[in-house]
Structure 1
Protein backbone atom coordinates (compact mmCIF):
# COMPACT_ATOMS: atom_id res chain seq x y z
CA UNK A 1 0.00 0.00 0.00
CA UNK A 2 1.38 3.37 -1.05
CA UNK A 3 -0.19 5.41 1.75
CA UNK A 4 0.90 8.77 0.35
CA UNK A 5 -0.91 8.17 -2.95
CA UNK A 6 -3.93 6.61 -1.24
CA UNK A 7 -4.41 9.51 1.18
CA UNK A 8 -3.80 12.30 -1.35
CA UNK A 9 -7.47 12.64 -2.44
CA UNK A 10 -8.57 12.55 1.21
CA UNK A 11 -6.21 15.44 1.94
CA UNK A 12 -7.70 17.31 -1.01
CA UNK A 13 -11.25 16.75 0.31
CA UNK A 14 -10.25 18.01 3.75
CA UNK A 15 -8.71 21.19 2.32
CA UNK A 16 -11.70 21.89 0.07
CA UNK A 17 -14.24 21.32 2.85
CA UNK A 18 -12.26 23.50 5.22
CA UNK A 19 -12.26 26.37 2.71
CA UNK A 20 -16.00 26.00 2.07
CA UNK A 21 -16.96 25.86 5.74
CA UNK A 22 -14.74 28.80 6.63
CA UNK A 23 -16.37 30.59 3.69
CA UNK A 24 -19.77 29.92 5.27
CA UNK A 25 -18.52 31.41 8.53
CA UNK A 26 -17.32 34.55 6.74
CA UNK A 27 -20.65 34.93 4.94
CA UNK A 28 -22.52 34.75 8.23
CA UNK A 29 -20.27 37.43 9.67
CA UNK A 30 -20.81 39.73 6.69
CA UNK A 31 -24.55 39.22 6.28
CA UNK A 32 -25.92 38.66 9.79
CA UNK A 33 -25.25 39.54 13.38
CA UNK A 34 -24.55 35.97 14.46
CA UNK A 35 -22.41 33.23 12.97
CA UNK A 36 -23.42 29.73 14.10
CA UNK A 37 -19.87 28.59 13.30
CA UNK A 38 -17.22 29.38 15.92
CA UNK A 39 -14.34 27.62 14.20
CA UNK A 40 -13.51 24.79 11.80
CA UNK A 41 -10.76 22.17 12.07
CA UNK A 42 -9.90 19.31 9.74
CA UNK A 43 -7.50 16.42 9.46
CA UNK A 44 -6.68 13.24 7.57
CA UNK A 45 -6.46 10.30 9.97
CA UNK A 46 -2.82 9.26 10.55
CA UNK A 47 -1.76 5.94 9.03
CA UNK A 48 -1.14 4.44 12.49
CA UNK A 49 -4.71 5.30 13.54
CA UNK A 50 -6.11 3.86 10.30
CA UNK A 51 -4.26 0.59 10.85
CA UNK A 52 -5.35 0.41 14.49
CA UNK A 53 -9.00 0.98 13.61
CA UNK A 54 -8.89 -1.57 10.79
CA UNK A 55 -7.50 -4.12 13.21
CA UNK A 56 -10.08 -3.28 15.88
CA UNK A 57 -12.99 -3.48 13.44
CA UNK A 58 -11.51 -6.42 11.51
CA UNK A 59 -11.51 -4.54 8.19
CA UNK A 60 -9.37 -6.00 5.42
CA UNK A 61 -7.19 -3.73 3.26
CA UNK A 62 -9.45 -4.47 0.27
CA UNK A 63 -12.34 -2.88 2.19
CA UNK A 64 -10.45 0.07 3.65
CA UNK A 65 -12.99 2.52 2.25
CA UNK A 66 -15.45 1.17 4.83
CA UNK A 67 -13.66 3.55 7.20
CA UNK A 68 -15.83 6.66 6.96
CA UNK A 69 -13.64 9.03 8.96
CA UNK A 70 -10.30 8.93 7.15
CA UNK A 71 -11.12 12.49 6.08
CA UNK A 72 -12.62 14.38 9.02
CA UNK A 73 -13.86 17.92 9.47
CA UNK A 74 -15.11 19.40 12.73
CA UNK A 75 -17.43 22.40 12.98
CA UNK A 76 -17.69 23.92 16.46
CA UNK A 77 -20.68 26.09 17.39
CA UNK A 78 -21.70 28.25 20.35
CA UNK A 79 -25.17 26.81 20.89
CA UNK A 80 -26.96 23.48 20.38
CA UNK A 81 -29.50 25.21 18.09
CA UNK A 82 -26.60 26.29 15.88
CA UNK A 83 -25.68 22.65 15.29
CA UNK A 84 -29.05 21.86 13.73
CA UNK A 85 -28.91 25.08 11.68
CA UNK A 86 -25.56 23.99 10.22
CA UNK A 87 -26.80 20.43 9.64
CA UNK A 88 -29.78 21.73 7.63
CA UNK A 89 -27.57 24.02 5.58
CA UNK A 90 -25.07 21.25 4.81
CA UNK A 91 -27.85 18.85 3.80
CA UNK A 92 -29.20 21.42 1.33
CA UNK A 93 -25.88 21.86 -0.50
CA UNK A 94 -25.43 20.35 -3.95
CA UNK A 95 -21.62 20.08 -4.00
CA UNK A 96 -21.67 16.85 -1.96
CA UNK A 97 -24.20 14.24 -0.86
CA UNK A 98 -25.09 13.40 2.74
CA UNK A 99 -25.37 9.61 2.86
CA UNK A 100 -25.76 9.06 6.60
CA UNK A 101 -26.60 11.03 9.74
CA UNK A 102 -25.87 10.19 13.38
CA UNK A 103 -27.48 12.36 16.03
CA UNK A 104 -25.42 11.73 19.16
CA UNK A 105 -26.96 14.79 20.80
CA UNK A 106 -30.49 13.48 21.25
CA UNK A 107 -29.09 9.94 21.37
CA UNK A 108 -25.82 10.27 23.29
CA UNK A 109 -23.29 7.44 23.37
CA UNK A 110 -22.91 5.28 26.47
CA UNK A 111 -19.71 7.17 27.31
CA UNK A 112 -21.62 10.48 27.43
CA UNK A 113 -20.27 11.61 24.04
CA UNK A 114 -22.47 14.11 22.21
CA UNK A 115 -22.02 15.43 18.68
CA UNK A 116 -23.81 15.39 15.32
CA UNK A 117 -22.13 13.40 12.55
CA UNK A 118 -22.77 13.69 8.83
CA UNK A 119 -21.21 11.10 6.54
CA UNK A 120 -20.85 12.57 3.08
CA UNK A 121 -19.84 11.47 -0.39
CA UNK A 122 -17.64 14.21 -1.81
CA UNK A 123 -16.69 14.37 -5.51
CA UNK A 124 -13.05 15.29 -5.85
CA UNK A 125 -11.21 15.94 -9.12
CA UNK A 126 -7.97 14.00 -9.40
CA UNK A 127 -5.50 13.62 -12.27
CA UNK A 128 -7.25 10.30 -12.98
CA UNK A 129 -10.72 11.86 -13.10
CA UNK A 130 -13.47 12.33 -10.54
CA UNK A 131 -13.53 10.20 -7.39
CA UNK A 132 -16.23 10.02 -4.73
CA UNK A 133 -14.56 10.15 -1.33
CA UNK A 134 -16.34 9.34 1.92
CA UNK A 135 -15.73 11.93 4.65
CA UNK A 136 -17.14 12.71 8.08
CA UNK A 137 -18.30 16.11 9.33
CA UNK A 138 -18.74 16.44 13.09
CA UNK A 139 -20.78 19.37 14.41
CA UNK A 140 -20.70 20.10 18.14
CA UNK A 141 -20.72 22.90 20.71
CA UNK A 142 -17.68 24.32 22.46
CA UNK A 143 -18.62 22.42 25.63
CA UNK A 144 -19.07 19.12 23.75
CA UNK A 145 -15.75 19.68 21.99
CA UNK A 146 -13.94 20.34 25.28
CA UNK A 147 -15.32 17.10 26.75
CA UNK A 148 -14.64 15.00 23.64
CA UNK A 149 -11.05 16.25 23.34
CA UNK A 150 -10.28 15.23 26.91
CA UNK A 151 -12.10 11.91 26.58
CA UNK A 152 -10.03 11.14 23.48
CA UNK A 153 -6.81 11.88 25.38
CA UNK A 154 -7.82 9.59 28.24
CA UNK A 155 -8.79 6.79 25.86
CA UNK A 156 -5.39 7.13 24.23
CA UNK A 157 -3.65 7.04 27.60
CA UNK A 158 -5.52 3.91 28.75
CA UNK A 159 -5.52 2.31 25.28
CA UNK A 160 -9.33 1.95 25.36
CA UNK A 161 -9.30 0.26 28.79
CA UNK A 162 -10.25 3.21 30.95
CA UNK A 163 -10.67 2.56 34.70
CA UNK A 164 -14.30 2.53 35.83
CA UNK A 165 -13.65 5.38 38.28
CA UNK A 166 -12.38 7.63 35.48
CA UNK A 167 -15.20 6.53 33.17
CA UNK A 168 -17.81 7.44 35.79
CA UNK A 169 -16.30 10.87 36.31
CA UNK A 170 -16.23 11.45 32.56
CA UNK A 171 -19.93 10.61 32.31
CA UNK A 172 -20.65 13.12 35.05
CA UNK A 173 -18.55 15.69 33.24
CA UNK A 174 -20.46 15.01 29.99
CA UNK A 175 -23.75 15.74 31.74
CA UNK A 176 -22.30 18.89 33.29
CA UNK A 177 -21.12 20.04 29.85
CA UNK A 178 -24.58 19.46 28.39
CA UNK A 179 -26.18 21.25 31.34
CA UNK A 180 -23.91 24.20 30.54
CA UNK A 181 -25.17 24.15 26.94
CA UNK A 182 -28.77 24.12 28.18
CA UNK A 183 -28.18 27.03 30.56
CA UNK A 184 -26.37 29.08 27.92
CA UNK A 185 -29.26 28.49 25.52
CA UNK A 186 -31.54 30.27 28.01
CA UNK A 187 -29.47 33.45 27.72
CA UNK A 188 -28.69 33.05 24.01
CA UNK A 189 -30.52 36.26 23.02
CA UNK A 190 -28.64 38.32 25.60
CA UNK A 191 -25.29 36.83 24.55
CA UNK A 192 -25.94 37.54 20.87
CA UNK A 193 -27.04 41.09 21.62
CA UNK A 194 -23.82 41.64 23.59
CA UNK A 195 -21.80 40.25 20.68
CA UNK A 196 -23.64 42.58 18.26
CA UNK A 197 -22.83 45.59 20.43
CA UNK A 198 -19.18 44.55 20.69
CA UNK A 199 -18.93 44.03 16.92
CA UNK A 200 -20.57 47.39 16.16
CA UNK A 201 -18.29 49.24 18.58
CA UNK A 202 -15.21 47.48 17.21
CA UNK A 203 -16.14 48.40 13.62
CA UNK A 204 -16.72 52.05 14.59
CA UNK A 205 -13.31 52.13 16.32
CA UNK A 206 -11.67 50.74 13.18
Structure 2
Protein backbone atom coordinates (compact mmCIF):
# COMPACT_ATOMS: atom_id res chain seq x y z
CA UNK A 1 0.00 0.00 0.00
CA UNK A 2 1.36 3.42 -0.94
CA UNK A 3 2.10 5.79 1.93
CA UNK A 4 -0.18 8.83 2.22
CA UNK A 5 1.55 12.14 2.76
CA UNK A 6 -1.21 13.49 4.99
CA UNK A 7 0.31 16.93 5.42
CA UNK A 8 0.62 17.44 1.69
CA UNK A 9 -2.83 16.00 0.92
CA UNK A 10 -4.66 18.06 3.57
CA UNK A 11 -2.92 21.37 2.88
CA UNK A 12 -5.22 22.44 -0.01
CA UNK A 13 -8.27 21.56 2.11
CA UNK A 14 -7.04 23.97 4.79
CA UNK A 15 -6.36 26.59 2.12
CA UNK A 16 -9.91 26.18 0.79
CA UNK A 17 -11.53 26.60 4.22
CA UNK A 18 -9.30 29.60 4.99
CA UNK A 19 -10.34 31.34 1.77
CA UNK A 20 -14.04 30.53 2.23
CA UNK A 21 -13.86 31.80 5.82
CA UNK A 22 -12.58 35.16 4.57
CA UNK A 23 -15.19 35.37 1.80
CA UNK A 24 -18.21 34.65 4.00
CA UNK A 25 -16.98 36.99 6.72
CA UNK A 26 -16.51 39.68 4.08
CA UNK A 27 -20.18 39.28 3.15
CA UNK A 28 -21.14 39.67 6.81
CA UNK A 29 -18.94 42.78 7.12
CA UNK A 30 -20.48 44.33 4.02
CA UNK A 31 -23.99 44.02 5.48
CA UNK A 32 -22.83 45.54 8.78
CA UNK A 33 -20.93 48.39 7.11
CA UNK A 34 -24.06 49.18 5.09
CA UNK A 35 -26.04 49.12 8.37
CA UNK A 36 -28.19 46.22 7.14
CA UNK A 37 -29.17 42.96 8.81
CA UNK A 38 -26.59 40.29 8.03
CA UNK A 39 -28.03 36.80 7.45
CA UNK A 40 -24.60 35.50 8.54
CA UNK A 41 -24.01 35.60 12.29
CA UNK A 42 -20.92 33.41 12.57
CA UNK A 43 -18.61 31.46 10.27
CA UNK A 44 -16.75 28.36 11.43
CA UNK A 45 -14.43 26.11 9.43
CA UNK A 46 -12.64 22.83 9.97
CA UNK A 47 -10.64 20.19 8.16
CA UNK A 48 -11.29 16.67 9.41
CA UNK A 49 -8.51 15.20 11.53
CA UNK A 50 -6.62 12.22 10.17
CA UNK A 51 -8.27 10.03 12.82
CA UNK A 52 -11.76 11.20 11.73
CA UNK A 53 -10.94 10.53 8.08
CA UNK A 54 -9.75 7.00 8.90
CA UNK A 55 -12.84 6.33 11.07
CA UNK A 56 -15.18 7.47 8.30
CA UNK A 57 -13.34 5.51 5.63
CA UNK A 58 -13.68 2.36 7.79
CA UNK A 59 -17.40 2.93 8.34
CA UNK A 60 -17.97 3.40 4.61
CA UNK A 61 -15.55 0.67 3.62
CA UNK A 62 -13.44 3.08 1.59
CA UNK A 63 -9.81 2.18 0.99
CA UNK A 64 -7.52 4.81 2.50
CA UNK A 65 -5.92 5.50 -0.88
CA UNK A 66 -9.37 6.49 -2.18
CA UNK A 67 -10.56 8.77 0.65
CA UNK A 68 -9.65 11.99 -1.15
CA UNK A 69 -11.68 10.85 -4.15
CA UNK A 70 -14.69 9.55 -2.21
CA UNK A 71 -15.14 11.79 0.86
CA UNK A 72 -16.67 15.20 0.17
CA UNK A 73 -16.76 16.57 3.71
CA UNK A 74 -13.07 16.56 4.64
CA UNK A 75 -13.27 20.35 4.31
CA UNK A 76 -16.21 21.90 6.11
CA UNK A 77 -17.71 25.36 6.54
CA UNK A 78 -20.49 26.04 9.02
CA UNK A 79 -22.51 29.23 8.74
CA UNK A 80 -24.60 30.14 11.78
CA UNK A 81 -27.67 32.35 11.36
CA UNK A 82 -30.03 34.04 13.81
CA UNK A 83 -33.24 33.05 12.04
CA UNK A 84 -34.49 30.20 9.86
CA UNK A 85 -35.35 32.74 7.14
CA UNK A 86 -31.70 33.83 7.09
CA UNK A 87 -30.62 30.29 6.21
CA UNK A 88 -32.36 30.48 2.86
CA UNK A 89 -30.89 33.93 2.20
CA UNK A 90 -27.42 32.45 2.70
CA UNK A 91 -28.35 29.54 0.43
CA UNK A 92 -29.27 32.05 -2.29
CA UNK A 93 -26.00 33.96 -1.74
CA UNK A 94 -24.12 30.72 -2.38
CA UNK A 95 -26.26 29.86 -5.42
CA UNK A 96 -25.44 33.30 -6.85
CA UNK A 97 -21.74 32.36 -6.76
CA UNK A 98 -22.29 29.04 -8.56
CA UNK A 99 -20.12 28.93 -11.66
CA UNK A 100 -18.07 31.93 -10.51
CA UNK A 101 -15.76 31.14 -7.60
CA UNK A 102 -17.39 27.81 -6.65
CA UNK A 103 -19.47 25.03 -8.16
CA UNK A 104 -22.50 23.56 -6.40
CA UNK A 105 -22.64 19.76 -6.58
CA UNK A 106 -25.54 18.95 -4.27
CA UNK A 107 -28.04 20.53 -1.88
CA UNK A 108 -29.77 18.78 1.04
CA UNK A 109 -32.52 20.54 2.97
CA UNK A 110 -32.74 18.88 6.38
CA UNK A 111 -34.93 21.69 7.68
CA UNK A 112 -37.98 20.93 5.56
CA UNK A 113 -36.90 17.27 5.44
CA UNK A 114 -35.84 16.71 9.03
CA UNK A 115 -33.80 13.59 9.82
CA UNK A 116 -35.41 10.99 12.09
CA UNK A 117 -32.99 11.98 14.86
CA UNK A 118 -34.37 15.53 14.82
CA UNK A 119 -31.32 16.93 13.01
CA UNK A 120 -32.00 20.13 11.08
CA UNK A 121 -29.60 22.01 8.85
CA UNK A 122 -29.11 22.95 5.20
CA UNK A 123 -26.17 21.28 3.47
CA UNK A 124 -24.53 22.39 0.24
CA UNK A 125 -21.68 20.37 -1.23
CA UNK A 126 -19.43 22.47 -3.44
CA UNK A 127 -16.23 22.28 -5.41
CA UNK A 128 -13.83 25.13 -4.71
CA UNK A 129 -10.69 25.81 -6.72
CA UNK A 130 -7.48 26.72 -4.88
CA UNK A 131 -4.16 27.68 -6.39
CA UNK A 132 -1.35 25.91 -4.55
CA UNK A 133 2.41 25.86 -5.05
CA UNK A 134 1.96 22.68 -7.09
CA UNK A 135 -0.89 24.01 -9.22
CA UNK A 136 -4.68 24.39 -9.23
CA UNK A 137 -6.84 21.90 -7.36
CA UNK A 138 -10.60 21.55 -6.98
CA UNK A 139 -11.47 20.79 -3.38
CA UNK A 140 -14.83 19.35 -2.30
CA UNK A 141 -16.32 21.12 0.69
CA UNK A 142 -19.51 20.69 2.68
CA UNK A 143 -21.23 23.90 3.80
CA UNK A 144 -23.68 23.53 6.69
CA UNK A 145 -26.09 26.40 7.29
CA UNK A 146 -28.14 26.42 10.49
CA UNK A 147 -29.50 28.61 13.26
CA UNK A 148 -27.82 29.03 16.64
CA UNK A 149 -30.48 26.78 18.21
CA UNK A 150 -29.97 24.08 15.57
CA UNK A 151 -26.22 24.27 16.06
CA UNK A 152 -26.49 23.93 19.85
CA UNK A 153 -28.67 20.84 19.49
CA UNK A 154 -26.50 19.27 16.77
CA UNK A 155 -23.32 19.77 18.82
CA UNK A 156 -24.83 18.02 21.85
CA UNK A 157 -26.36 15.21 19.77
CA UNK A 158 -23.04 14.63 17.99
CA UNK A 159 -21.21 14.33 21.32
CA UNK A 160 -23.73 11.81 22.67
CA UNK A 161 -23.70 9.80 19.45
CA UNK A 162 -19.89 9.69 19.60
CA UNK A 163 -19.95 8.61 23.26
CA UNK A 164 -22.31 5.72 22.56
CA UNK A 165 -20.71 4.87 19.21
CA UNK A 166 -24.01 5.40 17.39
CA UNK A 167 -25.99 3.18 19.82
CA UNK A 168 -27.60 5.79 22.03
CA UNK A 169 -29.90 4.36 24.75
CA UNK A 170 -33.59 4.58 23.86
CA UNK A 171 -34.53 6.88 26.75
CA UNK A 172 -31.71 9.28 25.87
CA UNK A 173 -32.55 9.21 22.16
CA UNK A 174 -36.18 10.07 22.95
CA UNK A 175 -35.09 13.01 25.11
CA UNK A 176 -32.70 14.34 22.47
CA UNK A 177 -35.46 14.08 19.83
CA UNK A 178 -37.81 16.03 22.12
CA UNK A 179 -35.09 18.65 22.56
CA UNK A 180 -34.84 18.95 18.76
CA UNK A 181 -38.53 19.82 18.57
CA UNK A 182 -38.22 22.30 21.42
CA UNK A 183 -35.22 23.87 19.68
CA UNK A 184 -37.14 24.26 16.43
CA UNK A 185 -40.12 25.71 18.30
CA UNK A 186 -37.76 28.36 19.68
CA UNK A 187 -36.59 29.17 16.13
CA UNK A 188 -40.22 29.39 14.99
CA UNK A 189 -41.22 31.71 17.82
CA UNK A 190 -38.17 33.93 17.27
CA UNK A 191 -39.17 34.15 13.61
CA UNK A 192 -42.48 35.78 14.59
CA UNK A 193 -40.61 38.77 16.06
CA UNK A 194 -37.77 38.72 13.52
CA UNK A 195 -38.50 42.15 12.01
CA UNK A 196 -38.66 43.85 15.41
CA UNK A 197 -35.38 42.23 16.47
CA UNK A 198 -33.70 43.24 13.20
CA UNK A 199 -34.90 46.84 13.56
CA UNK A 200 -33.60 47.00 17.13
CA UNK A 201 -30.23 45.60 16.11
CA UNK A 202 -30.05 48.05 13.22
CA UNK A 203 -30.51 50.99 15.60
CA UNK A 204 -27.81 49.57 17.87
CA UNK A 205 -25.43 49.16 14.91
CA UNK A 206 -26.08 52.72 13.69
CA UNK A 207 -25.33 54.02 17.18
CA UNK A 208 -22.14 51.96 17.44
CA UNK A 209 -20.91 53.23 14.06
CA UNK A 210 -21.74 56.79 15.05
CA UNK A 211 -19.89 56.50 18.37
CA UNK A 212 -16.85 55.16 16.52
CA UNK A 213 -16.91 58.13 14.12
CA UNK A 214 -17.28 60.63 16.98
CA UNK A 215 -14.37 59.19 18.95
CA UNK A 216 -12.25 59.09 15.80
CA UNK A 217 -12.99 62.76 15.10
CA UNK A 218 -12.22 63.75 18.70
CA UNK A 219 -8.93 61.86 18.51
CA UNK A 220 -8.02 63.52 15.21
CA UNK A 221 -8.69 66.97 16.63
CA UNK A 222 -6.52 66.09 19.64
CA UNK A 223 -3.62 65.27 17.30
CA UNK A 224 -3.64 68.75 15.79
CA UNK A 225 -3.38 70.40 19.17
CA UNK A 226 -6.99 71.19 20.05
CA UNK A 227 -6.21 69.89 23.53
CA UNK A 228 -7.96 72.74 25.35
CA UNK A 229 -11.25 71.70 23.75
CA UNK A 230 -10.95 67.97 24.50
CA UNK A 231 -12.61 68.12 27.92
CA UNK A 232 -15.51 70.08 26.43
CA UNK A 233 -15.90 67.63 23.52
CA UNK A 234 -15.70 64.57 25.80
CA UNK A 235 -18.23 65.99 28.27
CA UNK A 236 -20.65 66.85 25.49
CA UNK A 237 -20.23 63.39 23.97
CA UNK A 238 -20.88 61.62 27.30
CA UNK A 239 -23.98 63.73 27.95
CA UNK A 240 -25.37 63.02 24.47
CA UNK A 241 -24.51 59.33 24.68
CA UNK A 242 -26.33 58.95 27.99
CA UNK A 243 -29.29 60.83 26.57
CA UNK A 244 -29.35 58.29 23.74
CA UNK A 245 -30.70 60.61 21.03
CA UNK A 246 -29.13 59.42 17.78
CA UNK A 247 -30.13 62.58 15.91
CA UNK A 248 -28.27 64.77 18.44
CA UNK A 249 -25.26 62.45 18.31
CA UNK A 250 -25.29 62.73 14.53
CA UNK A 251 -25.36 66.55 14.67
CA UNK A 252 -22.49 66.52 17.16
CA UNK A 253 -20.50 64.24 14.87
CA UNK A 254 -21.16 66.53 11.90
CA UNK A 255 -19.82 69.45 13.93
CA UNK A 256 -16.66 67.53 14.77
CA UNK A 257 -16.30 66.37 11.18
CA UNK A 258 -16.58 69.94 9.92
CA UNK A 259 -13.86 71.05 12.35
CA UNK A 260 -11.63 68.16 11.35
CA UNK A 261 -12.10 69.01 7.67
CA UNK A 262 -11.45 72.68 8.36
CA UNK A 263 -8.15 71.85 9.99
CA UNK A 264 -7.37 69.37 7.21
CA UNK A 265 -7.08 66.41 9.52
CA UNK A 266 -6.14 63.08 7.96
CA UNK A 267 -8.48 60.48 9.38
CA UNK A 268 -7.06 57.61 11.34
CA UNK A 269 -8.60 54.29 10.24
Name the TM tier (shorter chain): over 0.9
Distance 2:66 2:81 in 1: 34
TM-score, with length taken from structure 1: 0.97
Cα shift at 1:204: 3.2
1:13 alignment partner, SS class:
helix
State which of 20, 26, 29 in structure 1 corresponds to 2:29.
26
Deviations 1:125-159 (A, max 9, x none): 12221111111110000000000011111112112
Query: How many Å separate the matches in 1 of 2:77 and 2:208?
Result: 31
- 1:92 pairs, out of 96, 115, 119, with 96
1:154-169 pair list within 5 angstroms: 154-169=160-175
Once the two structures are superposed, the pairs formed by residues 39-78 of structure 1 within 5 Å of their partners are 39-64=42-67, 65-78=69-82
Verify: 1:116 aligned to 2:122, yes or no.
Answer: yes
Asked whether the equivalents of residues 54 and 64 of structure 2 are also in contact (C-alpha less than 8 Å), the reply is: no
Which 5+ residue runs of structure 1 have no aligned equivalent? none
SS across alignment from 1:58: coil
Structure-2 separation of matches of 1:196 and 1:163: 45
- In the alignment, the residues of structure 2 paired with residue 47 and residue 62 of structure 1 have an alpha-carbon distance, to the nearest angstrom, of 13
The 3-state SS of whatever aligns with 2:80 is strand
> Which of the two has greater strand per residue?
1
Does the aligned pair in 1 maintain the 2:108–2:123 contact within 8 Å? yes
CA distance in 2 between partners of 1:84 and 1:66 (Å): 28
Query: What is the Cα deviation at residue 168 of structure 1?
Result: 0.6
Q: What is the deviation of 1:66? A: 1.3
Aligned equivalent of 1:141: 147
Q: Which has the higher contact order (CA 8 A, sep 6+)?
A: 1
Ranges in structure 2 where 5+ consecutive residues have no aligned partner:
213-269
- Separation of aligned partners in 2, 1:194 and 1:127: 47
Structure with a larger share of its residues in helix: 2
Deviation at 1:33, TM superposition (A): 2.0
Deviation at 1:58, TM superposition (A): 0.8
C-alpha displacement at 1:32, in angstroms?
4.0
Count matched residues: 206
Q: Which string of whole-angstrom CA distances, capped at 9 and with x for unpartnered residues, describes residues 72-125 of structure 1?
A: 000000011100000011111110001100100000111100000000011111
Contact 2:32–2:205 (Cα < 8 Å) also in 1: no
TM superposition score normalised by structure 2: 0.75
Tell me by how many angstroms 1:43 deviates: 0.5
